[in-house]
Amino acid sequence: MAFQLPELPYALDALEPYVSRRTLEFHYGKHHQAYVNNANKLAEGTRFEGADLETIIREAEGGLYNNGAQAWNHTFYFMGFGPEGPREPQGALAEAINRDFGSFEKFREEFNQKAATLFGSGWAWLVKDDEGHLSIVQESNAGNPMRRGLTPILTCDVWEHAYYLDYQNRRPDYLASFWNILNWDVISQRY
């Protein structure tokens, strides 16, 4: 079965003023779609034809890995947003953040620092290890922490295409807005 661009659970203008409709039209509608299309083309005729994206992330190399990981990363990123929902973590995830970072504010500061200082393009991730402990990791380009045996909980895309139309080269401004569109109901369930 071919990979599909998932339908967003919100309208293209639902994240304004933090993320514009125009950014979503390009980032989701063009960039994300291109990764899905390329992953489908590159998987054809290989042992990965019919595999899921998680298998491609864990086992593939080169262009198939890059496009498959980017398709998965973007889906995970976009599905953590919403115009409504709590703006802070809930339940077990909130407790784990307080345990491992000291407070939600300290977690946000560390996450923003990792996202802001990632050189070039890539992703900042909140991840959980096999024992349930949380950490923040940086991944360059299409990097995904599943490749290291970690479970993704939250990610922030710091490729310029994620924010350039709205924030130009001001990554810190984009990161400040990022916290206003997260749906912690969805994110907390990932823990």
In this structure, are residues 149 and 72 in contact, taking their beta carbons and an 8 Å threshold? no
Write down the pLDDT at residue 1: 66
Residue 175 has which token pair?
Answer: 């990161």
Three-state SS at 4: coil
Strand order in the sheet with 151-157: 134-140, 122-128, 151-157
Write down the pLDDT at residue 134: 98
HSE, side-chain direction, 13 A CA sphere, residue 143 = 19
Write down the pLDDT at residue 12: 98
Write down the pLDDT at residue 85: 86
Residue 85 has which token pair?
Answer: 């929902």
> What angle separates helix 62-79 from helix 33-43, to the nearest 10 degrees?
140
Q: Where are the domains of the chain?
A: 21-79, 91-190
Per DSSP, the chain holds a count of helices (H) and strands (E) of 9, 3
CA 154, chain centre distance (Å)? 6
In this structure, are residues 186 and 79 in contact, taking their beta carbons and an 8 Å threshold? yes
Question: Phi/psi at 18 (nearest 5 deg)?
Answer: -75, -40
Q: Which CATH number fits domain 91-190: 3.40.50.300, 3.30.470.20, 3.55.40.20, 3.40.50.880?
A: 3.55.40.20
Write down the pLDDT at residue 116: 98
- Is it true that the peptide bond before 17 is cis, omega within 30 degrees of 0? yes
Q: Do domains 21-79 and 91-190 have the same CATH topology?
A: no
Q: Which position has the token pair 């940086």?
A: 138
Q: Which residues of the chain have pLDDT under 70?
A: 1
Write down the pLDDT at residue 98: 98
Q: Tell whether domain 21-79 is in CATH 1.10.287.990.
A: yes
Q: Give Cβ neighbours of residue 176 (< 8 Å, ≥ 6 apart).
A: 112
pLDDT digits (tens, 9 = 90+) for 2-18: 999 999 999 999 999 99
